[in-house]
């Protein structure tokens, strides 16, 4: 007896790449005289998507595990502020540690509430988003805190390695690490198992509570690092950094082909999803559309793309 493998070509699984190519071509032709294809602009797209792609890598883990993390934007803002304040008072190294501490702290709280008490991650992280942004605003009294450490700013965003902005290094590392973790480690496999069928995963001896805890911890920590990249790039900490990033990150993950229902996940897809979101933003700005129209078109493109990418 032979299994009939369903090898019919599944264009949906490679959908994001087609979509990416198509939109790239579209803007490339339409905006060829506006410098869309100039190396500088292309590098810009990368730079602008760096934070989203970093956050989206963490988000891929969460969604593959059939959970969601809406607090990442808030965590990024909070981390930027805590980093800025700590650097001002205690120097750059303490600042970085404090930033990561923010991610670990928020992530543990999210993780504990979801895995131990059993509150849906949607609610926990929605609440946490408010708490994080509010705390950031409270600490700084709504004011931006400048960061004067050159070293910090260079490492986290303003500097460059050869021709490449250091932010790209961050997003590249996040993607590489995320990709290896999800596809090549037992931890990654356990995430997919937990998201795919939690009961079955339990029967296989997987501690699904711990997995849920860990993915939320990772997502928060990664978001805190994204907050530091904001801080370094803009040389300030501000509670508003990262606002709305959770939605861009979720859009990137889903566009990339990860199912919202868990059980599957592709980091490379997520990277292209993030790049696609960045591409669209960049193109719309270069086209000189007013912000309101940009928002409408961006929203429509994302809905359309997700609708097309949706598996039956």
Partner 1 sequence: MNAIEMKEINKSFFGTPVLKDVNFSVLPGEIHGLAGENGAGKSTLMKILQGVYTMDSGLIEVAGSPAEISSFQDARQYGIGMVFQEFSLIPELTVAQNIFLNREPTNKFRLISDRSSIAKAHKVLESVGIDIDVTVKVSTLSRAFQQLTEIAKAIAAEAKILILDEPTASLAKHEVDSLFKVLKQLTASGVSIIYISHRMDEIYQICDRITILRDGNLVAVDSLKNLSPQEVIAHITGRKDVEMLSYEGREVDRRSTPVLKVVELSAGDRVKKVSIELHAGEVLGFAGLMGSGRTEILRAIFGLDKVGSGKIYINGEEKTIKNPREAKGVGMALIPEDRRRQGLIMEHSISTNILSANLEKLSHFSFLNFQKINQFSQTAITDFEIRPPEAKREVKLLSGGNQQKVVIAKWVATNPSIILMDEPTVGVDIGTKVEIMKLVRSLAAQGKSIIVVSSELPELLGVCDRILIVKNGEVTDSLERYEIRDEDHLQLMLQGINA
Q: Does 202 bind partner 1 (CB under 8 A)?
A: yes
Site for partner 1 in 79-138 (CB under 8 A): none
Nearest to 275 by CA among 29, 42, 76: 42
Q: Does 9 bind partner 1 (CB under 8 A)?
A: no
Contact 307, 8 (CB under 8 A): no
- What is the smallest separation between the CB atom of 1 and partner 1, expressed in angstroms? 6
Residue from 102, 124, 136, 192 in contact with partner 1 (CB under 8 A): 192
Q: What are phi and psi of 37, to 5 degrees?
A: -90, 0
Place of tokens 């039956």: 312
- What is the smallest separation between the CB atom of 27 and partner 1, expressed in angstroms? 34
Which one, 98 or 193, has the nearer CB to partner 1? 193
Contact 60, 265 (CB under 8 A): yes
Using DSSP's 3-state secondary structure scheme, residue 287 falls into coil
Report the C-alpha gap between 151 and 149 in whole angstroms. 5
Site for partner 1 in 162-181 (CB under 8 A): 180
Q: Which residues pair with 146 in a beta bridge?
A: 236
Q: Does 196 bind partner 1 (CB under 8 A)?
A: yes
- What is the smallest separation between the CB atom of 115 and partner 1, expressed in angstroms? 17
Distance between alpha carbon 204 and the CA centroid of its chain, in Å? 30
Q: Does 3 bind partner 1 (CB under 8 A)?
A: yes
Site for partner 1 in 251-280 (CB under 8 A): 259, 263-264
Count of residues interacting with partner 1 (CB under 8 A): 30
Window of 54-62, 141-149, 183-191, 273-281 that interacts with partner 1 by CB under 8 A: 183-191
Maximum CA extent, the chain = 71
Which one, 165 or 188, has the nearer CB to partner 1? 188
Q: Does 5 bind partner 1 (CB under 8 A)?
A: yes
H/E element holding 145?
A: strand 145-146
Q: Rounded to 5 degrees, what angle do the CA atoms 197, 198, 204 make?
A: 95
Residue from 4, 33, 117, 244 in contact with partner 1 (CB under 8 A): 4
């Amino acid at each position: 007896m032979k299994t009939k493998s369903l090898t019919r070509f599944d264009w949906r699984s490679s959908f994001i790449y087609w979509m990416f190519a198509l939109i790239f071509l579209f803007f490339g032709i339409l905006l060829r005289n506006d410098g869309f294809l100039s190396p500088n602009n292309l590098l810009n797209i990368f730079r602008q998507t760096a934070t989203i792609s970093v956050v989206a890598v963490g988000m891929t883990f969460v969604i593959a595990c059939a959970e969601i993390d809406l607090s990442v934007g808030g965590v990024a803002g909070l981390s930027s502020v805590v980093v800025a304040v700590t650097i001002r008072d205690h120097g750059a190294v303490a600042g970085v540690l404090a930033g990561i501490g923010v991610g670990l702290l928020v992530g543990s709280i999210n993780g504990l509430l979801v895995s131990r008490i059993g509150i849906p991650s949607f609610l926990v992280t929605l609440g946490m988003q408010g708490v994080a942004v509010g705390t950031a605003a409270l600490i700084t009294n709504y004011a931006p805190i400048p960061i004067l450490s050159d070293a910090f700013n260079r490492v986290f965003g303003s500097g460059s390695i050869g021709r490449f902005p250091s932010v790209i290094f961050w997003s590249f590392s996040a993607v590489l690490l995320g990709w290896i973790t999800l596809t090549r480690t037992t931890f990654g496999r356990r995430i997919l198992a937990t998201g795919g069928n939690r009961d079955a995963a339990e029967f296989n001896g997987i501690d699904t509570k711990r997995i849920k805890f860990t993915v939320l911890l990772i997502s928060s920590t990664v978001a805190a690092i994204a907050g530091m990249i904001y801080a370094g790039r803009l040389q300030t900490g501000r509670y508003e950094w990262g606002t709305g990033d959770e939605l861009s990150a979720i859009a990137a993950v889903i566009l990339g082909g990860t199912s919202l229902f868990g059980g599957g996940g592709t980091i490379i897809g997520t990277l292209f999803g993030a790049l696609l979101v960045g591409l669209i933003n960049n193109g719309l700005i270069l086209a000189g559309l007013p912000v309101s129209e940009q928002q409408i078109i961006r929203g429509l493109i994302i809905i359309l793309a997700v609708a097309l990418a949706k598996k039956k």
